[in-house]
Amino acid sequence: MTVYRRIALRTALLYLLLSVVWLQLVGYLLSSFFDQSADRLRWLLINGYAWVLVSAGLIFLTRVRMSRFFGPGEHSADRERLRQAAAVFDCTREGVLVTDRNGLIVHVNRAFMAITGYGRDEVLGQRPNLFKSGRHGPDFYRDMFVALDSLGEWSGEIWNRRKSGEIYPQWQTIRVVRDDNGQVSHYVAVFSDISAIKDSEHELAHLAHHDPLTGLPNRLLFSDRTEQALASAQLHKRGCALLLVDLDHFKNINDSLGHNVGDELLKGVAERFRGLFAPGVTLARLGGDEFAVLVENCAQPGQAAVLARRILDALKEPLRLDQQSLFINASIGISLFPGDALSAGQLLRNADSALFKAKSAGRDGYALYTEELTVHAQQRVEIASELRLALQQQQLRVHYQPVYDLASSRLIGVEALVRWEHPTRGLVSPAEFIPIAERVGLIAQIDAWVMDQACRQMCRWQQAGVALSFVAVNVSSRLFAHRELYEQVAKVLHDTGLDPACLELEVTESAVMEDPEVALEQMHRLRELGVRLAIDDFGTGYSSLLRLKRLPVQKLKIDQGFVAGLPWDEDDAAIVRVIIALAHSMGMQVHAEGIEQREQAAFLLEQACELGQGYWFGRPVAAQQLDWDRAPAIA
């Protein structure tokens, strides 16, 4: 009740009271003056009561006037409020559902109908369990009613079913409405459809845990799963295996064919791997060309090895991309729980060491982690520190391997190969210490020293009248792109006075492909010095033929991997034929490495390959031990 209305009412009551008092007073006064005849008294009373009635009428009119002036009365305000509530109730975007105390639906709004797909008539008189999704157990509903009973309100996420049968998430608030006696009269539920929010939440969670290119779990999710798997394996006394898969020479594909092709290839590889594994195996892309596989319930190295073989075999068929088909191999490192490691981090590190072993062993294979590998890792650290001393204490040697002209069986050149005469380890192979020297930054010094030694030796041979066309030295891929290489070669030629045409620089195909544009520039500069250029280990680096054509290179050295199968392996034979034809079409000479048998040399000669090198002709030896007179009979 408003203040004004209260004032008006009180004024009117006072007026009424005063009127009655006034009437009694007038009656009393008159009766004392006049004869108290009954008729006069009656007349007075009737007159008085008429006055009261007129007053009451006036009060009513006053009240109506007042209420018109000051606003509607209490009942019309309530009606207005209800009208407004009904409009809000109907226009709100949240679904509203009202049940009576027995849980029968008595009201729903328009949004309710839009969200659920039900018409009003279909739900009035029904119970809300009509919308149950079946996703929540009895405990969920019990907790909800406990909260309603004790707090009078419940809110939370609930999955319900639309009329179409689709299940969707709602954010719902249910409130208990009580009457004046405190008894439950209604339940009001207000809810919104949060499927869109859920979808974007889900999408975000997916993005955070998956690799966008392949859709596989990423490193984060993989680590999580590994930790969970190890915890469960520990509990159930089971074993797990972690396989780390790295594609061989993937970078070359990216560089030579472009990142789009690289991406397509990664997708293709992921697709192929996906088809290999049963449920319970997690396949992830950790980054770049590195994939990881977590196998639960796998205790034996043999089981993991079988899986690794399956992965490698899956890559034997070419991957068909949009424009082309490509072959790619992989190397795999395997580490086992609990045999090799007890934590997820250690398991991954050990698999990485094993992967390194697989790569060092020539790629396209797998290796198991063993204690030995840790020892190897330690040895690598020791070698790195000893290598510095080796340079100072002149423990390095240069050996020379003869190169023969196949047509004439004449020794026409040598390749300089570095050796390390270690005081305790004996002769250490460059395959072992060159990668370490590259990593610790000693390779520049080593290569410069070998080049200097080789050029001096070549000068000595020439002075002694040995008819040798060239000495070849290897240039590390780490140095190849650097400007200093040019200066270093120029300095050696200047210092030794060797005819530049007698010096051949061997650069691996993968070094060229690391940055073909820089390689092209560098090669042109080196050619200006007059030295010869050869591409080493050809066939392993996915060279783009177009790029190869632009390179100022005089020679291709066929990798020994292709020579090994000659002449019987048809694939190797076909590849070698193609390489020879290709090189000749570009005006280059062909030089085959790793010839260990006469038949290999004969096949190569037949294919018009110009030069041959290998144990069959002669192993790398010290300069004084070279046999100049040997002329092996190839045919």
Which of the choices ligand C2E, Mg ion, none does residue 84 contact, using the CB cut-off of 5 to 8 A by kind? Answer: none
Distances (CA, A) of 94 to 116, 172, 464: 11, 9, 100
Which of the choices Mg ion, ligand C2E, none does residue 516 contact, using the CB cut-off of 5 to 8 A by kind? Answer: none
Span near Mg ion by CB under 5 A; candidates 127-135, 210-218, 328-336, 505-513 = 505-513
Which of the choices ligand C2E, Mg ion, none does residue 193 contact, using the CB cut-off of 5 to 8 A by kind? Answer: none
Name the DSSP letter for residue 565.
Answer: T
Distance, CA of 98 to CA of 93 (rounded, Å): 16
Q: Quick one: 97 or 583, whose CB is closer to Mg ion?
A: 583
Q: Does residue 509 belong to the site contacting Mg ion (CB under 5 A)? A: no
Q: Quick one: 192 or 474, whose CB is closer to ligand C2E?
A: 474
Which of the choices Mg ion, ligand C2E, none does residue 264 contact, using the CB cut-off of 5 to 8 A by kind? Answer: none
Which of the choices Mg ion, ligand C2E, none does residue 401 contact, using the CB cut-off of 5 to 8 A by kind? Answer: ligand C2E
Distance, CA of 413 to CA of 222 (rounded, Å): 53
Q: Quick one: 282 or 522, whose CB is closer to ligand C2E?
A: 522
Distance, CA of 360 to CA of 457 (rounded, Å): 32
Burial 412-450, CB ≥16 within 10 A → b, else e: ebbbbbbbbeeeeeeebebeebbbbbbeeebbbebbbeb
Q: CB 614 → ligand C2E: shortest distance, Å?
A: 3
Which of the choices Mg ion, ligand C2E, none does residue 224 contact, using the CB cut-off of 5 to 8 A by kind? Answer: none
Name the DSSP letter for residue 97.
Answer: E
Q: Do the beta carbons of residue 248 and residue 328 sit within 8 Å?
A: yes
Q: CB 559 → Mg ion: shortest distance, Å?
A: 6
Asked whether the bond before 567 is cis by omega within 30 degrees of 0, the reply is yes
Which of the choices ligand C2E, Mg ion, none does residue 614 contact, using the CB cut-off of 5 to 8 A by kind? Answer: ligand C2E
Q: CB 617 → ligand C2E: shortest distance, Å?
A: 8
Q: CB 242 → ligand C2E: shortest distance, Å?
A: 31
Q: CB 479 → ligand C2E: shortest distance, Å?
A: 8
Per-position x/- string for 461-480, each x denoting binding to Mg ion as judged by CB under 5 A, each - no binding: -------------x------
Q: CB 539 → ligand C2E: shortest distance, Å?
A: 12
Q: Quick one: 227 or 438, whose CB is closer to ligand C2E?
A: 438
Q: CB 297 → ligand C2E: shortest distance, Å?
A: 41
Q: CB 429 → ligand C2E: shortest distance, Å?
A: 5
Q: Quick one: 248 or 447, whose CB is closer to ligand C2E?
A: 447
Span near Mg ion by CB under 5 A; candidates 15-23, 443-451, 487-495, 587-595 = 587-595
Q: CB 533 → ligand C2E: shortest distance, Å?
A: 14
Distance, CA of 76 to CA of 376 (rounded, Å): 93
**What DSSP letter does each residue of 127-171 carry, written as one string?**
-GGGGB-S-S-HHHHHHHHHHHHHHSEEEEEEEEE-TTS-EEEEE
Q: Quick one: 195 or 560, whose CB is closer to Mg ion?
A: 560
Secondary structure string (H, E, C) spanning 246-305: EECCHHHHHHHHCHHHHHHHHHHHHHHHHCCCCCCEEEEEEECCEEEEEEECCCCHHHHH
What phi-psi label fits residue 165: left (phi over 0), alpha (psi between -120 and 50 degrees) or beta? left
Q: Do the beta carbons of residue 489 and residue 506 sit within 8 Å?
A: no
Which of the choices ligand C2E, Mg ion, none does residue 509 contact, using the CB cut-off of 5 to 8 A by kind? Answer: none
Q: Quick one: 76 or 429, whose CB is closer to ligand C2E?
A: 429
Q: Does residue 536 belong to the site contacting Mg ion (CB under 5 A)? A: yes
Q: Quick one: 264 or 593, whose CB is closer to Mg ion?
A: 593
Candidates 380, 326, 401; CA nearest to 614 is: 401
Q: CB 472 → ligand C2E: shortest distance, Å?
A: 8
Cβ contacts of 142 within 8 Å, gap of 6 or more: none
Q: Do the beta carbons of residue 46 and residue 52 sit within 8 Å?
A: no
Coil vs helix vs strand at 244: strand
Q: Do the beta carbons of residue 451 and residue 473 sit within 8 Å?
A: yes
Q: Do the beta carbons of residue 618 and residue 402 sit within 8 Å?
A: yes
Interface ranges with ligand C2E (CB under 6 A): 401, 417-418, 429-431, 434, 447, 450, 474, 476, 506, 536-537, 560, 593-596, 613-615, 620
Q: Quick one: 355 or 403, whose CB is closer to Mg ion?
A: 403
Q: Do the beta carbons of residue 518 and residue 477 sit within 8 Å?
A: no
- Residue 261, Cα to own-chain centre: how many angstroms? 18
Q: Quick one: 450 or 513, whose CB is closer to ligand C2E?
A: 450
Element spanning 333, H or E: strand 330-337
Distance, CA of 349 to CA of 368 (rounded, Å): 12
Element spanning 533, H or E: strand 532-538
Q: CB 537 → Mg ion: shortest distance, Å?
A: 4
Q: CB 532 → ligand C2E: shortest distance, Å?
A: 15
> What's at 120, amino acid-wise?
R
Question: Which residue's CB comes closest to ligand C2E?
Answer: 614
Which of the choices Mg ion, ligand C2E, none does residue 109 contact, using the CB cut-off of 5 to 8 A by kind? Answer: none
Q: How many residues bind Mg ion (CB under 5 A)?
A: 5
Span near Mg ion by CB under 5 A; candidates 126-134, 330-338, 502-510, 580-588 = 502-510
Which of the choices ligand C2E, Mg ion, none does residue 430 contact, using the CB cut-off of 5 to 8 A by kind? Answer: ligand C2E
Q: CB 524 → ligand C2E: shortest distance, Å?
A: 21
Distance, CA of 508 to CA of 511 (rounded, Å): 5
Q: Do the beta carbons of residue 101 and residue 183 sit within 8 Å?
A: yes
Angle between helices 259-274 and 301-314 (to 10 degrees): 130
Residue among 211, 246, 504, 537 that touches Mg ion (CB under 5 A): 537
Q: CB 450 → Mg ion: shortest distance, Å?
A: 11
The token pair at 47 is 């007159």
Distances (CA, A) of 117 to 122, 130, 507: 10, 13, 72
Q: Quick one: 537 or 610, whose CB is closer to Mg ion?
A: 537
Span near Mg ion by CB under 5 A; candidates 45-53, 105-113, 253-261, 531-539 = 531-539
Which of the choices ligand C2E, Mg ion, none does residue 418 contact, using the CB cut-off of 5 to 8 A by kind? Answer: ligand C2E
Q: Does residue 506 belong to the site contacting Mg ion (CB under 5 A)? A: yes
Which of the choices ligand C2E, Mg ion, none does residue 476 contact, using the CB cut-off of 5 to 8 A by kind? Answer: ligand C2E
The token pair at 163 is 């009329």
Q: CB 557 → ligand C2E: shortest distance, Å?
A: 7
Distance, CA of 616 to CA of 609 (rounded, Å): 16
The token pair at 400 is 């020379």
The token pair at 257 is 């064919």
Enumerate binding residues for Mg ion (CB under 5 A).
474, 506, 536-537, 593
